[in-house]
Amino acid sequence: MTSLAPTPTACAAALETVYRPRHPLDLRATVVFQRRGANDPTMTVDGPVIWRAARTPNGVATVALRGTSDGTVRIAAWGEGAEWALEQAPALCGDTDDATGFDATRHPLIAHLAHRNPGLRLGRTDLVFDALASSIVEQKITGLQAFAAWRRLVAWHGTPAPGPTPRAMFAPPTIDGWRRIPSWDWHRAGLEPPQARTITRVAERGASLVRGILAATDAEQIDRILLSQPGIGPWTAAETRIKALGDPDAVSVGDYHLAHEVGYALTGSRTDDDGMLELLSPWTGHRQRVIRLVTAAGPREPRRGPRLHPEDHRSR
């Protein structure tokens, strides 16, 4: 396998493999979906290479993925968790995504988008607590605020990524590391106290939560586990399932923009959560797949009003 970065010593220590997808794969659209904003310290895109830092069950790892002209993906990994990261990388690229039963022809727009984007897959990280923590960070604030808070917290309390990364990258904190973040750092990062308390609470029993979710046999069981935790509602549970497990049917009810986007794409008019669920009902089992097609490549409603200006409470 050819090197993915120009640092010979670091590259020599990498574990490497080649992934041969069984289906068309748009590597960037599938994997970069996991990035939390353009400056996410856990993921960066450097030319043709996608770099990701993760805290695996075996330790911190950096993985680099490069798509090739023959449709394969060349993968290199560094760090204690490198072997786990290599084994998990196909799932990150959507290898476990099963589109059986998905009928795009139920709506002309979805048929068009599915035809134009055959390589858009639903990937998964299999890192439940990271997905849960990032989803809680994103509760009830703008994306810009959430991504900035995630960036600060991970850079301040995470672990530097191993390997020849193109810029400084960090893996998220350990579960105990999330629990030990001091109150002033939550505040400096830009999070409200309810979000900080929720992450701290779930981190107190994080290991058992993760075990329960990974052992669960269906989405309903996962939701029962997550929704039993104070501060976690249907939106956070759905976002966790989407990021960590690639759930093809998850719908983030309660999202500020999602119902509007789906309604406008499918009918030309905005709708609310109930209307969105009705519109998506023909694709039950694959509703997240429809949402991904719409949000990745669907039509956008023209903006009619001023942008929402996020409130910065850090000086309070």
Whether 65 maps to a domain, the answer reads yes
Q: Which pLDDT value is given to residue 10?
A: 42
Structure confidence by residue, pLDDT tens digits, 130-183 = 999 999 999 988 889 999 999 999 999 999 999 999 999 999 999 999 999 999
Task: Tell me the mean pLDDT in the region 186-203.
Answer: 95
Mean pLDDT across the chain, nearest whole number? 92
pLDDT band, residue 13 (cuts 50/70/90)? confident
Q: Which pLDDT value is given to residue 307?
A: 52
Percent of the chain with pLDDT over 70: 92
* Residue 209 clears pLDDT 70, i.e. is over it: yes
Encode the chain in three state secondary structure: CCCCCCCHHHHHCCEEEEECCCCCCCHHHHHHHHCCCCCCCCEEEECCEEEEEEEECCEEEEEEEEECCCCCEEEEEECCCHHHHHHHHHHHCCCCCCCCCCCHHHCHHHHHHHHHCCCCCCCCCCCHHHHHHHHHHCCCCCHHHHHHHHHHHHHHHCEECCCCCCCCCEECCCHHHHHCCCHHHHHHHCCCHHHHHHHHHHHHCHHHHHHHHHHCCCHHHHHHHHHCCCCCCHHHHHHHHHHHHCCCCCCCCCCCCHHHHHHHHHHCCCCCHHHHHHHHHHHCCCHHHHHHHHHHHCCCCCCCCCCCCCCCCCCC
Whether 90 maps to a domain, the answer reads yes
Task: Tell me the mean pLDDT in the region 210-236.
Answer: 96
We report the CATH number of the domain holding residue 31 as 3.30.310.20
Whether 86 maps to a domain, the answer reads yes
**CA distance readout (Å), 76 to 5, 53, 124, 154:** 10, 12, 18, 23
Q: Which pLDDT value is given to residue 256?
A: 87
Spatial distance between the Cα atoms of 85 and 30, rounded to a whole number of angstroms? 17
Task: Tell me the mean pLDDT in the region 118-141.
Answer: 96
Q: Which residues of 181-190 are buried (b: 16+ CB within 10 A; e: fewer)?
A: beeeebbebb
Q: Which pLDDT value is given to residue 306?
A: 54
Of the listed ranges 40-54, 77-91, 239-253, 291-305, the one predicted with least confidence: 291-305
Whether 210 maps to a domain, the answer reads no
Whether 43 maps to a domain, the answer reads yes
Give the tokens for residue 268.
Answer: 């030309």
Number of structural domains, the chain? 1
Whether 58 maps to a domain, the answer reads yes
Whether 42 maps to a domain, the answer reads yes
Query: The whole model's pTM is what?
Result: 0.91
Range of the domain at 75: 8-98
* Residue 114 clears pLDDT 50, i.e. is over it: yes
Contact 172, 158 (CB under 8 A): yes
Q: Which pLDDT value is given to residue 191?
A: 93
Q: Which pLDDT value is given to residue 305?
A: 55
* Residue 7 clears pLDDT 70, i.e. is over it: no
Whether 94 maps to a domain, the answer reads yes
